[in-house]
Amino acid sequence: MTSRKTLHLKTYLMIAVMIVAGPLGNVLLAQGMKHSGALAIWPPAALLHTATNVFASGSIWLGVASLITFFVAYMLVLSWADYSFVQPASSLAYGVVALLGYLMLGEHVSPLRWAGIAVICVGVFVVGRTDPKTTEKKRGNAETADPALVGQV
């Protein structure tokens, strides 16, 4: 059985991967789409040209890889911890989104927006002080087992 301390370490490590990989993937997708220019979907020849521009972008492919990494980490952490812990704890990603938007996309992040992100981070700190796993899998026992199936392999 996995020790409680190891479970906490794995959970926090995967949440950290989620906090970085999700926003990074989204920013890379945004960067790739901005470099692809205005996208046209009609006539069909324009759609083909659009698809070629999008799929030739390294930023798009790095963004997709980063989002796949996020998704795998998300699935893993949901198998170890409660959803009511994972979702709020992963909200630190809002700070990473603003930081990456500022650094990579040149966006202006107002002081009011930073203040809102700080409030979210305080909430994440509060949630982080709770136990990530409050439920246990229910295991069958002899009292609740079907008598006809007891002893069968």
Q: Are 86 and 77 in contact, with CB atoms under 8 Å apart?
A: yes
For residue 153, what pLDDT band results from cuts at 50, 70 and 90? very low
Residue 87 belongs to some domain of the structure: yes
In a domain, 137, yes or no: no
In a domain, 18, yes or no: yes
pLDDT (0 to 100) of residue 35: 87
pLDDT, greater one: 45 or 94: 94
* Domain-located, residue 133: no
pTM: 0.76
Q: Quick one: which of 137, 85, 104, 84 has its CA closest to 27? A: 104
- Structural domain includes residue 142: no
Summarize pLDDT for 7-31 with one digit per residue, the tens: 788 999 999 999 999 999 999 999 9
Domain count, the chain: 1
Alpha-carbon span 120 to 109, nearest angstrom:
16
Q: Do the domain assignments include residue 41? A: yes
Q: Is 138 exposed, middle or buried (0-12, 13-18, 19+ CB in 10 A)?
A: exposed
Determine, yes or no, domain membership for 136. no
> Could you tell me the two tokens for 35?
């470099």
DSSP category for residue 90:
G
Q: Is the pLDDT of residue 123 over 60?
A: yes
Q: How many CB atoms lie within 10 A of CB 4?
A: 11
Q: What is the pLDDT of residue 100?
A: 95
Q: Is residue 135 assigned to a domain?
A: no
Q: Which residues contact 34 (CB under 8 A, 6 or more apart)?
A: 105
Supply the range of the domain harboring residue 20. 4-128
Averaged pLDDT, 117-139: 83
